[in-house]
Amino acid sequence: MKFGYFDDPNREYVITQPDTPLPWINYLGCQAYFGIISNTAGGYSFYRDARLRRISRYRYNNTPMDFGGRYIYLRDDDSTEFWSPSWQPTRTDLENYSCRHGMGYTTIGSQYKGIEASTRYFVPMDENLEIWQLTVTNHRSTPAKISSFANIEFCLWDAQDDATNFQRNFNTGQVEVEDGVIYHKTEYRERRNHFAYFACSEKDASFETQRENFLGKYRSWDKPLAVENGQLGNSIAHGWSPIGAHQVKLELAPGETRQIVFVLGYHENPVAEKFDPPGSQTINKKTVKPVIAKYLDARQADASFAQLRQHWESLLGIMQVNTPDIHTNRMVNIWNAYQCMVTFNMSRSASFYESGIGRGLGFRDSNQDLLGFVHMAPARARERILDLAATQLPTGGAYHQYQPLTKRGNNDIGGGFNDDPQWLIIGVSSYLKETGDFSILDEPVAYDNEPGSEKPLYDHLLRSFNYTLERLGPHGLPLIGRADWNDCLNLNCFSDTPGQSFQTTTNKEGKVAESVFIAGLFVYAGRELAAIASHRNLNAEAATYLAESAKMEKVTLEHGWDGEWFLRAYNDFGGKIGSKECAEGKIFIESNGFCTLAGIGLDDGKAASALAAVGEHLATKHGIVVQQPAYTRYYIEMGEISSYPPGYKENAGIFCHVNPWVMIGETRLGHGDLAHDYYSRICPSAREEISELHRCEPYAYAQMIAGKDAPTFGEAKNSWLTGTAAWNYYAIVQWILGIRTTLGGLEIAPVVPKNWPGFTASRTYRGVVYKIVVERKGEGNSVALAVDGVKIDGSVVPPPTDGRTEVAVHCTLS
Ligand code: GLC
Ligand code: GLC
């Protein structure tokens, strides 16, 4: 069953039924001012940091779900009936409800008793505000008197404190109302120099700023007393819960349409110029007033919206494909690329599942996210890399997370996740392959942000590499530390106390437990580093990295091999994890996926054997599960992985992040059909028809789909903020379609299904538009290339040096 449809030409998903299985959300903003918005206008906004600068309030895990939002009520002042055109909060039976989620905007509308209303929500480029453009049309044959009530509940900035510290924050709320604009200025009187505002293009009939006056005692948002009465009380909030509410009265002739523009924004004043007049307690509004006036103009709102559309048009235009598979096309051309930008902007902070008050930017997460967005935002990728590298420790290890606002490593979590440093090599390498900007390697970057410790970025990569070499275990495999990619495989934790963190509690020395996954990662990263070194003519160095990489490969094949597949790890007692000798957890996806992706065992049949075993034991119709059999009880020596009931999360759930490793492995074996089949099993668009089972958005990847051991097999959770976005994008574009960045140019080496007659693509790479036509002449994956009609050797097309800005690449597959 579907709850809507894809409108591909408009790059929108159109939801036609408001009660989706879960709130289906979208993101507003792409620079500093952000918001999440659901299909019924739920969600909230923040400036840069979802915890510390939360602008509006949202109630996570509330009942009914998805409460707190950008709500508009319409009231028929003749009949006194009122409703929400976005369905929530009143949940009235509407006609023609639709929600169009697009690139950085959402439009929600419906009709009720002849009154059509639709609101377009978006954040204009380069501004710290959002626009709600409400259009109301009277389709009745008689005039209509309609009151509109637009409402926002302010958050008192620190979202954590706002939701917990009531003994203080029921006293601090403050607002000002001037010229019809509602200013939220809690804590502005003391140490803050920022405030929020909510403005309206039409003259207010009345306003409200105290929540209880709006709702009435013991009422909720579905039945606000003030809306019922058709009149707001012009209250000024002192403490409790400040809101912004505007009432506008519309008299609509039959067929008449009116538009109201609302602006919700964030503004900062220089500390010395906070008040006007100086010495007063009144907000200085000199610099904010022109901004408000500008965007309350509907023509300006339209122009800003057109600019936003253009922004996404040019970003997505960098990589466009036309294949025989509609799901591949729409995910690559639109939604997966869009999600990659969202994960870059949000990391793992704000979604329906990430409350915005938890994690900062993850070191490994952010390095992997680069794989998906580097072609769309190379300058921002460069900045991100340098920020990440500055949180690396002098040992070569890294803070597991850092705070986006301070850019400092998070001491509560610290380091010691032994895979982290290798991801920096992979992140930097993806940047170099895209841009060819080797100057980044010479950028001085501090360790642990310590002034004076600056070394060229290249030095950071070497320390990353050596970090693993200096931490090898009894078999010569890398020690795992607190965890590797799988945060929940905690082999040194041995936690028996409820609530203890599995990741930061370390009850064992950590000198025994080894990770075969990190071994594969190291082999791969070592080869990337060697390629970078030889590109800089550091040939002796390159040879060393290759030799170390080869040595690790040998150790992996010897001690990381279980006979039919790769082991996962050795535990603190030196026992095997992910072996047929184990009672549970006999085979895992991570080591088998990453080792084959890295090319380990390609020559001696081990890679083929490992992936065949993955196909046999782990692959399901809804994707590939993490391991089998699932852990049926808690193993103290294994940690968090065994804390989840079977089939969920890392305990045999379908972790969509790691499925692409197997897809890539399959392409390395030349198995285009199977690689694309695996791709399709977790592809959100391809799962649209089973939305009542999948439950999450059909246009965004979720972190996890419940595995076959779960009673809810096939149900997705935790959509949007996951490394899944980048890895699936990377797997389909660079390995299945085979349009792959290398240090020397763009490689064209597709491994696509046999029944594809070919496909076309347009890729802008280092300033040159590559117009690619792939034509299948035989069933294999052999590639013959011609560039502008001239045959070339090999599969890499370097950017032309003769000033051509477009090349035609013809690729024959046979
Ligand atoms: C609050 C504080 C407490 C303080 C009291 C009086 O209750 O939590 O520490 O003593 O106010 O200021
Ligand atoms: C989460 C974490 C990521 C980790 C993954 C698997 O997605 O953000 O860092 O690798 O879970 O445990």
* DSSP code per residue over 620-679: ETTEE-SEESPP-S--TTTGGGGGSPTTSTTTT-EETTTHHHHHHHHHHTT-HHHHHHHH
Q: Minimal CA–CA distance to 653: which of 683, 633, 626?
A: 626
Q: Which helix (H) or strand (E) holds 183?
A: strand 181-184
pLDDT band for position 184 (cuts 50, 70, 90): very high
| 643 ligand 2 Cβ < 6 A | no
Ligand 2: residue of 656, 657, 659 to mutate (most ligand atoms within 8 A of CB) is 657
Determine contact, residues 525/545, Cβ cutoff 8 Å.
Answer: no
Can you give the pLDDT at residue 755?
98
Q: State both tokens at 194.
A: 């920022």
Ligand 2 site, residue 641, Cβ cutoff 6 A: no
CA of 168 relative to ligand 1 center, distance in Å: 9
Could you tell me the distance, in angstroms and rounded to a whole number, from the CA of residue 167 to the centre of ligand 1? 9
- d(CA 797, CA 787) in angstroms, rounded, equals 8
* Type of residue at 342: V
Decide if 483 contacts 447 (C-beta within 8 A): no
Question: Probe ligand 2: pick from 485, 518, 701, 704, max atoms within 8 Å of CB?
Answer: 485
For 454, residues 6+ apart whose C-beta sits below 8 A from its C-beta are 444, 445, 446
Question: Atom 8 of ligand 2 has which residue's CA nearest to it?
Answer: 365
Q: Using CA positions, which residue lies closest to atom 7 of ligand 2?
A: 722
CA-CA distance, 730 to 201, in Å (whole number)?
45
Cβ atoms of residues 676 and 753 within 8 Å: yes
Which residue bears the tokens 């010691």? 416
pLDDT above 90 covers a percentage of the chain that reads: 98
DSSP lists the bridge partners of residue 131 as: 122, 263
Tens digit of each residue's pLDDT (9 = 90 or more) over 335-361: 999 999 999 999 899 999 999 998 778
Question: Which atom of ligand 2 is closest in space to residue 703's alpha carbon?
Answer: 7
Among 45-54, 398-407, 618-627, the minimum mean pLDDT is found in: 398-407
The whole-number pLDDT of residue 519 equals 98
Closest CA to 80 of 42, 45, 113: 113
What is the mean pLDDT of the segment spanning 306-324?
98
Compute, in angstroms, the gap from residue 575 CA to the centroid of ligand 2: 24
Atom of ligand 2 nearest to the CA of 650: 12
> Helices in 258-297 by DSSP H: which ranges?
288-295
- Residue 415's pLDDT band (cuts 50, 70, 90): very high
Q: Three-state SS for 312?
A: helix
Rounded distance between C-alpha atoms, residue 562 and residue 586, angstroms: 10
Tokens 């509907």, located at residue: 298
Token output for 591: 């080591």
More confident residue, 412 or 257: 257
Query: Which-ligand-closest: CA of 358?
Result: 2
Considering every ligand atom, which ligand is closest to the CA of 361? 2
Nearest-angstrom CA–CA distance, 420 and 388: 11
Distance in angstroms (rounded) separating the CA atoms of residues 801 and 302: 41
Q: Is the CB of 656 under 6 A from ligand 2?
A: no
Mean pLDDT of the chain: 97
Q: What is the dihedral of CA 160, 162, 164, 166, to 10 degrees?
A: 160
Of residues 799, 784, 709, 725, the one with CA closest to residue 750: 784
Binding site membership of 487 for ligand 2 (Cβ less than 6 Å): yes
C-alpha 131 chain-centroid distance = 23
Determine the distance separating the centroid of ligand 1 and the alpha carbon of 165, expressed in angstroms. Answer: 12
The mean pLDDT value for 176-201 works out to: 98
Query: pLDDT tens-digit profile of 428-476?
Result: 999 999 999 999 999 999 999 999 999 999 999 999 999 999 999 999 9
Q: What is the pLDDT of residue 405?
A: 76
- Whether ligand 2 lies within 6 angstroms of the CB of 202 is answered as no
Whether residue 627 has pLDDT greater than 80: yes
Quote the pLDDT of residue 406.
83
Judge contact between 471 and 512, C-beta under 8 A.
Answer: no
- Please report the pLDDT score of residue 806 as a whole number: 98
The pLDDT score that the predictor gives to residue 1 is 95
Beta bridge partners of 763: 319, 770
Assign 225 a pLDDT band (cuts: 50, 70, 90). very high
Across the range 154-172, mean pLDDT stands at 97
Please tell me whether residue 116 adopts helix, strand or coil conformation: strand
CA angle (734, 737, 743) in 5-degree steps: 30
Is residue 334 over pLDDT 80?
yes
pLDDT tens across 729-774, in order? Answer: 999 999 999 999 999 999 999 999 999 999 999 999 999 999 999 9
pLDDT tops 90 at residue 403: no
Residue nearest to atom 9 of ligand 2 (CA): 365
**Phi and psi (nearest 5°) for 119?**
-125, 130
SS3 state at 145 = strand
| pLDDT at 392 (0 to 100) | 97
- Summarize pLDDT for 496-535 with one digit per residue, the tens: 999 999 999 999 989 999 999 999 999 999 999 999 999 9
Site to probe by mutation for ligand 2, drawn from 349, 363, 364, 365 as the one with most ligand atoms within 8 Å of Cβ, is 365
Instruction: Decide: 488 in ligand 2 pocket, CB within 6 A.
Output: yes
- From the CB of 650, is ligand 2 less than 6 Å away? yes
Residue whose tokens read 């690619």: 772
Q: Where are the alpha helices (H) located in 236-362, listed in sequence order?
A: 288-295, 298-316, 326-330, 336-346
In the reported structure, the alpha carbon of residue 187 is separated from the centroid of ligand 1 by a whole-number distance in angstroms of: 18
Would you state the torsion angle of the CA atoms of residues 101, 103, 105, 111, taken in this order, to the nearest 10 degrees?
A: -30
Compute, in angstroms, the gap from residue 239 CA to the centroid of ligand 1. Answer: 17
DSSP class of 421? H
Helix (H) or strand (E) holding 761: strand 758-765
- pLDDT at residue number 291: 98
Is the CB of residue 485 below 6 angstroms from any atom belonging to ligand 2? yes
Pairing type for strands 806-813 and 768-776 reads: parallel
| Whether the CB of 486 sits within 6 Å of ligand 2 | yes
User: What's 799's DSSP letter?
Assistant: P
Please list the active-site residues: 487
List residues bridging with 355 in a β-sheet.
Answer: 350
Q: 537-577 pLDDT, tens per residue?
A: 999 999 999 999 999 999 999 999 999 999 999 999 999 99
Block residue for tokens 């952010």: 366
722 lines ligand 2 (CB under 6 A): yes
Dist. CA 589–CA 610, nearest whole Å: 10
CB-based contacts of 240, cutoff 8 Å, min separation 6: 170, 173, 210, 211, 212
Tell me what percent of the residues of the chain surpass a pLDDT of 70: 100
Separation of alpha carbons 638 and 780, rounded Å: 43
Distance of CA 487 from the midpoint of ligand 2 (Å)? 6
Q: How far is CA 573 from CA 209, 482, 490, 516, 720, in A?
A: 62, 16, 13, 16, 38
To test the pocket of ligand 2, the residue of 484, 487, 501, 655 to mutate (highest count of ligand atoms within 8 Å of its CB) is: 487
What is the pLDDT at residue 337? 98
